Structure formats: C-alpha cells, structure tokens
Chains A and B, each alone.
Chain A
C-alpha cells in the first residue's frame, strides 16, 4: 500500500514515515504544505493521503482544503485527516466530501500505532473512520431529554461503533458477536431513534450511515 504525508513538523513527519515503513506501508511522498502535497499527488496518486489539518502558510484548515482538492481531482485517493482537536464540525465538513475512503482522527491518535495503521488500511479500503473521541463527545454530551436513554447499554456501544464508521461485520468482529445479532441491534436502534433504515454492508452505505448518525447526534437536544 502506498501513502503520502503532509505534515509541517519535520521531526514528527520523520517519525511517522519511519512508523509506516516499519509496518509495511510504503510512503511514496511527503510534503510540508498544501501545494506541496497536491503537486506530489497529481504526479502519482497514492492509495491514501495522510493530511495534517493545519499546514503552512496560515496554519488554519489547509489540510481540509487539500482534502477537498484531492477528492475533486483524484476521487480514488483515500483521505485521512489528522486534526489537532476533536471537532465535530470539522469531521462533518470532511464527510461531506463524498461517500468513501475518509478518515478523521485526532492527532494524539498517532501514538496508538495499531489504531493508526488500522485506520489507514480501512480508509484505503474505502471505509470511513471517525475518531472515537469525536463520537464520544457528540454522543455523550449532556441533554435535557436524551433519546439515547431509550437504548440499552449494548445498543449504545453498537451506535458508537456505527458512528466511528465500522460496518456491521466489523462491529460484530470487534464485539465478538454474530453479525446477525449486530444487524438486529442496528434495526432496533434505528427504530428507537427514528433513523433511516439501510443495509450497511456495502462501502458506500457506511459513510451515509456515519453522516446520518453524526448529524442526528449533533442535532438532538441542542436546538432552542
């Protein structure tokens, strides 16, 4: 698998490249700026682009802008954005970029080697990866009347994993349950919360489901 990295801190970039190489991921390009990474990707699109959200010159959201540009020019390149903050609004903005191969991780996550490598592989496969911290924040924020209280503890865990971008089979594998059981729980959740029912084994549907779940979680109990 081939990836490219955009990260303006030289030390961190070197450490990441070292980490990926050791785990059998080939780093075919690295850049410090948005324009730098766009040029490299135009020359030889990799499987996944790992993008720091803050890049020179303005250190604001150049990483997201790069992601949008890459998605437009090379729809097959998976995008993993490393954010400095667990920011729901950024995650949603990234998810609006299409239906597959998108990841939003808080930058701290790079310490979790296994999680990071797994996320890159999932994005390369076209799946959606949302940082658990983002999901936790949006799921367990305080609400006056919380519809999530209607869910059982097991259902809530499943909902969390749905929001993180896992497919039913992946959830089943993670929780050591049969896929049929997970499917039943998903149906129960959708019914209780009034979410749209959808088959979620296909790659495309995972993103739709993540967006639907996140949007739902974001909205309930927030408006005046």
Chain B
C-alpha cells in the first residue's frame, strides 16, 4: 500500500511539469506503476520469493528520474545520478528468475558491474557537465564523454546478461523452460528494445524517432511485469494440479500409472521413480533396476513414518520448486508405498520361483546322477558277474557238479538276468536316456511302447531347451501314470504343440473322469509346471474323460 501511495505521489509530482507529449509521457509513467502493482501481487502470493520485491523496486526507482523536473538541486542530483538504476534492477530481476536469488557468481558479477557503471557514470556526468540537462528530455548537446561511455558499458553488461539468460535456457530442462518461457521472453524483448534504444541514443540518428521509440519501450515494459507475474503464478497453478493428481491416483491403482501421473503434474516427462527395496536396491514398478544419481538436485527422497519409501529422479530444475515437489510427494506417498509393497512382493515371488526352479534342476541333476551311477557301477558289474557265472557254467557243465549244484547255478544265472533287466527298466524310469539324445518325440514313443493301454501321440520331431523337454516329459509321464492307475481308460492320447513362445502339452483319456486336482499326483504336476512359469488346466467332468493341458513358456 505504501508503495502505491508513493508511486501516486511521484506521478502527481511530475504531472504538472511533463516535458513530453501526453501519448508518450503517460505510458512511460505507467511502466513504474505496472511494475509496482505486479511486484506487490507477486510479493503477497510468494513472500519467500524475492522476485516480487525486485519488481516493486524496478517500479519505484522508475520514478527517480522524475525528480529532475522540479529543478530542486538535491532532488535533481538524486534524479540525475540514479536515473539508470531501474535498468540495473530490471536486469538483476531477469537474471534472478524464478526464485529471486542469483545462483551463479558470473550472474552476480554482471549485475554488480551494471549497478556500478550506471551510478558511477551518472555521478561523473553530474560533476563534469555544465549545464546539466535532465535525462531523456534534455537536448544532449552538453553531454560529456561519460555519456557514450555509460551507454557502451551498459550495453556490454546487458549483452552479457542476455547471454547468461540464453545459456540458462539452453541447459534448462523441460519443466524450467515451460515455467520460465513467459518470464524470459518478456525480459528478453524488453532487453532487446532497451539495447537498441541505447545504441540509437549514442548514435543520435533522428530526433524524430525518439517519441515512437520511447512509446514502444514504454508499452513493452508495461506488459513485462505481468508476464513475469504470470510465470510465477504458473508455479502456483502447478500446485493446484496436485489435487488432480490425488484424484488420478485414486482412480487407478496401477503402479505403472503412478509415474505418468507424477510426471504430468511435475511437468517432467523424464521423471523416474525408484522404489526402495528392503535390501537397499531401487526398482521401478515393473521390477527393473533403477540407478539413483548422486546429484542431490536430481533426486527427491520420499519418506513415510521415517521410512525411506522411494526416490524420485527428476530434472534438476525441479529442485527450485521444493514446495510443489513436497506437495506432490505428500499426495502420492500412499500410492508410492503401495507401489513399493507390490514391487517388493513381486521381487519375492520371483525369488521364490527362481529357488523352486533351482530345486527342480537340482532334483533332475540328482536323478541323472543316480542313473549314471547305477549304470556305470551296479549294472556293469552285474553284467560282468553274469558273464563269469556263464563261463563257470560252461566249464563245469556235466563234469564236477552234482545235478543239484547244476540247478543252483542255473537259478543264479536266471536270477542275475532278471535283476539286470529290472535294474535297467528302473534306471530307464529314473531318467529317460533318450530324452537328452533323441528328444521329446523319442521318449514319448518309448512311453507309448511300454504303456498298458493304447497311447496315440503327436509330438514334433524338433528339440527344445533341455529343462523344457524335461518338464514336458515329466508332465506326460506323470499324467499317463495317473491314467493307468485311476482313470479306468481304454485309450489315451498325448499331443505336444509348438505354439508361439510356448509349448502346449495335452494328455487326454476316455476314462471315468472326475479327477481330483488336489490329489498328490496332479498337485505335483501343477507344482512342476508352475516352477517353469507355466500353467496347467484339468478338464475332468462327471461324464467321463480327463484332459490335462499344460502350457509351458519357451523363449525361442
């Protein structure tokens, strides 16, 4: 309020003695007012942001030049010496966007150099020039050398500031660009106009051009503070987006949508969410690993009840918008916690599945080893023993042995033969040797040959990964055993189909049906199938017939 009163006083002070025509003078006077009004609004909306104060300062100092009108010596001196101060504050304001604080040393250097040059040169002019003419509406005839020096120094500083803005634009991420587009473009236009005006001022080409130039300058500057204000309020609008975010999060429980929603509300398309697992790893909602960068400006930690839930990885520019990010994080923390729990659950499930697969593989390996050991140990030795007995029988035949002894030897040979055959059939069942060498179709043929009832089959002759073939064999073997034992069937059929990315194994019979999925045989089957990530279906009605369909995923 105080600022407004002061501005009004300044206006009334100069109104009586205006040296320029109304159409130029009025817009020029309105520039200060416009900055003060926009500055005060920004100040009240964002007390923590210095941008509003800087804008107000530009507006107030704008009227310092008018102090030259009264010809009162002290006021004239102040008005003359500080005439170009608002342009320095304006540059300061543009470079300090959007927080109101200068971030880099080079920015401070440019701003301080500008403050120094605009005041020092004017003070020098005040001391040197005689008569002293008021700025802007003076004739320029008595201008000392410090006039052009001031213009050139100012031009250099403003060009440097302009360059810094371009540079920041160049490296800024999308959220910053989007937010600052209005402010920077307003500042840039004002800067360009000022620069051109300054240079023309030095060159003094056509005095007739002065009025239109001043008018343009004034109009651009009247609009500028509201452009900046709009930019600042955009940030507030983004915070309103948090409400929309909450609604979006309630609508969809899918953790995959969480990232999109956060990315939208924060205006950062590259946003990533790292959900923190118990072991300290970070994963995304699909379980993929997420690397968290070390740069603290790129990450925001989300905690709930002092527990680190997740880390948002975002554009460094968002670190300027801490209140917005905090609001978003607060709104999304419950959803993030859910997502984290889901991801953790999924990870644990993966681990359980992997460990089951390892157990199965170990069991398979063990069967294979037992079979190999039986083979290379017991079976070979028994054969050798059997050959020895055979030779003994040949050598002793009819000479030394009593008929009773002869009979015993015959029994020994017969027993040995039976043992060897039984052992062979046992080892065939433990681990079908043909599976590794000949593939699934050969072992299904083997099963069919040994079946107690007719088994028809259709199995492609191709090969699949060993683990897959083993699982398929296991399924067919167990399912057929169930058919023989429980189904009372007269026939069975086995088919293996090569669908895209999966193997469909189907075993059906014409038995009594009503198979119990909870029976140990079928449960074991299902366990084995789910271990490799497959699914199993049992169709077994009261009307008879049972079909077991297992779908096993395969990569090729």
Residues of A within 8 A of B (CB): 8-9, 11-12, 14-16, 18-19, 22, 54, 59-61, 84-85, 87-90, 93, 106-108, 110-111, 113, 137-138, 141-144, 218, 221-224
CA distance A85 to B437 in the complex (A): 13
Decide yes or no whether B458 CB sits under 8 A from chain A: yes
Q: Contacts of B394 on A, CB cut-off 8 Å? A: 113
Closest to A23 in B: B394
Instruction: Please tell me which stretch of B100-108, B290-298, B420-428, B521-529 contacts chain A, meaning at least 4 of its Cβ atoms lie within 8 angstroms of it.
Output: B420-428
Q: Once the chains bind, are B450 and A137 in contact (CB under 8 Å)?
A: yes
A110 to B458, CA, bound (A): 35
Contact A111 B456 (CB under 8 A): no
**For B413, what are the chain A residues with a Cβ–Cβ distance below 8 Å?**
111
Can you list 8 contacts pairing A with B, beta carbon distance less than 8 Å?
A11-B384, A12-B387, A15-B388, A89-B445, A107-B383, A111-B390, A142-B454, A142-B455
> In residues 429-474 of chain B, which contact A (Cβ within 8 Å)?
433-434, 436-438, 442, 445-446, 448-458
Residues in A neighbouring B427, C-beta threshold 8 A: 84
| A-B interface, 9 closest residue pairs, ranked by CB to CB distance from nearest | A89-B442, A9-B380, A15-B387, A224-B458, A142-B454, A11-B384, A144-B454, A61-B437, A111-B386
Q: Judging by beta carbons under 8 Å apart, are B434 and A90 in contact?
A: yes
Residues of A within 8 A of B388 (CB): 15
A141 touches B449 (CB 8 A): yes
Q: What A residues does B445 contact at CB under 8 A?
A: 88-89, 218, 222
Q: Which residue of A lies closest to B372 (CB)?
A: A59
Query: Could you say which residues of chain A place their CB within 8 Å of the CB of B428?
Result: 85
Binary per-residue interface labels of chain B (400-425) against chain A in the complex, 1 for a CB within 8 Å, 0 otherwise = 00000000000001001100110010
Cβ-defined contact, A110 with B387, below 8 A: yes
Do B438 and A89 have beta carbons less than 8 Å apart?
A: yes
How far apart sit A143 and B372, CA to CA, in the bound complex (Å)?
Answer: 33
A224: contacting residue among B376, B453, B495, CB under 8 A = B495
Q: Compute how far the CA of A223 lies from the CA of B445 in the bound complex, rounded to whole angstroms.
A: 10
Residues of B within 8 A of A59 (CB): 372, 375-376
- A11-B381, A15-B384 known; 14 new pairs, CB 8 Å cut-off, are A9-B384, A12-B387, A15-B388, A59-B372, A85-B433, A88-B446, A89-B434, A108-B421, A111-B387, A111-B416, A141-B449, A141-B451, A222-B455, A224-B495
A85 to B371 alpha-carbon distance, docked (Å) = 13
> Cβ of B495: which chain A residues have Cβ within 8 Å of it?
224
In the complex, what distance in Å separates the CA atom of A142 from the CA atom of B448? 8
Q: Assess whether A84 is in contact with B386, with CB atoms less than 8 Å apart.
A: no
Whether B454 pairs with A143 at a CB distance below 8 angstroms is yes
The residue that B436 contacts in the complex, of A9, A60, A90, with Cβ under 8 A, is: A60
| In the complex, residue of chain B having the shortest beta-carbon distance to the beta carbon of A133 | B421
Contact yes or no, A222 B457, CB < 8 A: yes
Question: Which of chain B's residues have a CB closer than 8 A to the CB of A106?
Answer: 424
In the complex, residue of chain B having the shortest beta-carbon distance to the beta carbon of A62: B437
Please pick, from B384, B442, B451, B458, the residue contacting A142 in the complex, using a CB distance under 8 A. Answer: B451
Kindly state the separation between the CA atoms of A113 and B446 in the bound complex, as whole angstroms.
27
Q: Which of B359-411 contact A (CB under 8 A)?
A: 372, 375-376, 379-381, 383-384, 386-388, 390-391, 394
CA of A54 to CA of B375 in the docked complex: distance in angstroms?
A: 10
User: Is B491 interfacial (CB 8 A cutoff)?
Assistant: yes
In the assembled complex, which residues on chain A have CB atoms less than 8 Å from the CB atom of B372? 59
Distance (whole angstroms) from the CB of B452 to the closest CB of chain A: 7
Say yes or no for B493: interface residue by CB 8 A criterion: yes
| Residues of chain B within 8 A of A12, CB atoms compared | 380, 383-384, 387
Task: Please tell me which one of the listed residues B381, B383, B454 contacts residue A110 in the complex, with CB atoms under 8 A apart.
Answer: B383
From A16, A60, A224, give the contact of B457 (CB < 8 A).
A224
Residues in A with CB closer than 8 Å to B434 are 85, 87, 89-90
